[in-house]
Structures are given as C-alpha cells and as structure tokens.
Amino acid sequence: MKSLRCRLKAKQTYSVEFKEQALSKVLQRGSRTVGAVADALNANVMTLRKWMRGATAANRSSISADARRPEDWSLEERLMTLQDSHGLVGEALNGWCRERGLFAHHLVQWRADFCATNGTGSRRENAQMVRDLKQANAQLQRELKRKAKALAEAAALLVLQKKYHALFEGAAE
C-alpha cells in the first residue's frame, strides 16, 4: 500500500499568474517543443497542452500583439516596436523587452531585415534585374500585339468566308 501512495502524486495547483507565464513561454518557444518548455517549467506536458487548448479563440484575439511569438508579428508591429525601443540601451532595453515578451536579439534581427535590400544584393544587381524585367515585358507586349493582329485577321477571314458562301449560295438558287 505504501508503494502505491508513493506512485500517486498529489494534484498540483497552479496560480493564474503561473499559467499565464507558462502559456506565454509556450507561445514564444521558437523551435523548442512543448515538452521541453514543460520540463523547464517543471510542469506536466499534458497539463500545459490542456491550458493551450483552454485558451479559446476569443481569449487569443484579446491577447495583445506582445503576448504572441515574435516571429508571428506583422511588419507594421515590428516597425512600431523598433521605433518604440529606439534609444534604449543596456538594462533599460532588456527591461523594455521583458515587458513585451521579446529579446534584444529579436530587435537586432528585425532592424537588419528592414535595412536589407530585399535580400537581392547590391544596387547594380537590382538595376540589372529591373532591366531584365523591362526587356521581358517589352517582348511579351510585342508577342501580344502579334497575336492580336493574327486574331483580327482570322476574324476578318471568317466574316469574308461567310459573305462568300451567302453570296454564291443565294446566286445558285
């Protein structure tokens, strides 16, 4: 009987604050699994998953953008966050990031993404790409005009053919 009691755990209760923090960590887990987050929190995986299911769509929509994973933020939200955090350094920046569920490396990455040239390279490469696109566009326009003329010619021949048949069928009778 004693061994049975040892195996049975008492049901653990969690505070509302702990549940909210756990859900926030799950949403911001990145590439980690829910099990890894549960281990880090010393909580049962199934309990954590139950909490996740319990967060209904209505609750999720009422959660601010700050409670979502940083990877899920829109470009506008990221830009506003970069503007709000501009000028903060050191502990002030870290505290500001903690309040919003971010890390400083998110801000660094977002800044680099906004400053990048669309990932295509230098201005020279962009100019060459624009020239190539313009040439392709001109070629497609020429081909479209050629096909439009061919279609008009085919329509004219069809009309003439109908007139020819109508003229000679009427004369033969």
Segment 68-121, tens digit of pLDDT: 777 778 888 888 888 888 888 888 888 888 888 888 888 888 888 888 755 555
| Same domain (yes/no): 147, 170 | yes
Residue where one domain finishes, among candidates 63, 83, 103: 63
Q: List Cβ neighbours of 30 (8 Å cut-off, separation of 6 or more).
A: 69, 71
The pLDDT value recorded for residue 82 is: 87
Where in the sequence is the domain holding 97, given as residue range(s)? 70-116
Same-domain check for residues 101 and 140 = no
User: For the chain, how many structural domains are there in total?
Assistant: 3
* Residues 6+ away with beta carbon under 8 Å from 14: 22, 43, 47
| Integer-rounded Cα radius of gyration of the chain | 33
Query: Do 112 and 137 fall within a single domain?
Result: no
Q: What is the pTM of this model?
A: 0.34
- The reply to whether 7 falls in a domain is no
Mean pLDDT is lowest, of 11-20, 99-108, 118-127, 134-143, for 118-127
The first and second tokens of residue 40, run together, are: 């880090």
Distance CA 23, CA 138 (A): 55
Residue 3 included in any domain: no
Q: Are residues 153 and 112 in the same domain?
A: no
